[in-house]
A and B are shown apart, each in its own frame.
Chain A
Amino acid sequence: AQRVTQPEKLLSVFKGAPVELKCNYSYSGSPELFWYVQYSRQRLQLLLRHISRESIKGFTADLNKGETSFHLKKPFAQEEDSAMYYCALTYRASKIIFGSGTRLSIRP
């Protein structure tokens, strides 16, 4: 079955420190992987997708098919990065399968 696992429910780092939010997935084919973010009192929104290979707000994520991972990284955390982050995958043009989310808290 398709599954997305985010092992950390909460990640707390100091401002300026590196951030890595872990994500592992299970799917035998070639899924599309995403990171979604939900800031306080805002809607769920797409942060980045692996196909675009972009850096958004300083965040990057590399798809590692061998390790079935798609970790989200940022070299220097900022206070405005505090939010709920969801790793997700889709394997056809319909439903998205989300992980349980990691709350990122940036300490000043």
Chain B
Amino acid sequence: DTGVSQDPRHKITKRGQNVTFRCDPISEHNRLYWYRQTLGQGPEFLTYFQNEAQLEKSRLLSDRFSAERPKGSFSTLEIQRTEQGDSAMYLCASSLGGRASGIWDEQFFGPGTRLTVL
């Protein structure tokens, strides 16, 4: 499967614990995005990387959330001191990147990681 992969697919944790999710983008894609989707809602943007640089962060990304893409390939999203409100599907997407700024390029989504905080 050459699409975006995410690990784990499901995570159940207790309130207060830290969790880390991994996303492996399509190999030649230089842009990587994280979204969060709660029940009955569409995905909400969290953050975006171009290569290893984190270029944008949503206000939804509180201090407890941190994302990295150290070598410009895979990315991790860590949530510290999880709260029940963090329960959601966390989606990763990647894209090839436009040749000029402002050019939209198709984002390809992974299967998501479903987090349940008890």
Interface residues of A (CB under 8 A from B): 4, 9, 32, 43-46, 86, 88, 90, 92-101
What distance in Å separates the Cβ of B88 from its nearest Cβ neighbour in chain A? 14
Q: Is the interface of B mostly helix, strand, loop or mixed?
A: loop
Q: In the complex the two chains form, is A43's CB within 8 Å of B48's CB?
A: no
Interface residues of B (CB under 8 A from A): 3-4, 31, 33, 40-45, 48, 55-56, 58, 91, 98, 101-112
Contact of A96 among B107, B110, B112 (CB under 8 A): B107
Q: In the complex the two chains form, is B3's CB within 8 Å of A86's CB?
A: no
Q: In the complex the two chains form, is B43's CB within 8 Å of A93's CB?
A: no
Contacts of A99 in B (CB 8 A): 42
What distance in Å separates the Cβ of A57 from its nearest Cβ neighbour in chain B? 17
Q: In the complex the two chains form, is B33's CB within 8 Å of A95's CB?
A: yes
Residue of B nearest to A97 (CB): B45
Q: In the complex the two chains form, is B104's CB within 8 Å of A90's CB?
A: yes
Contacts of A93 in B (CB 8 A): 98, 101-105
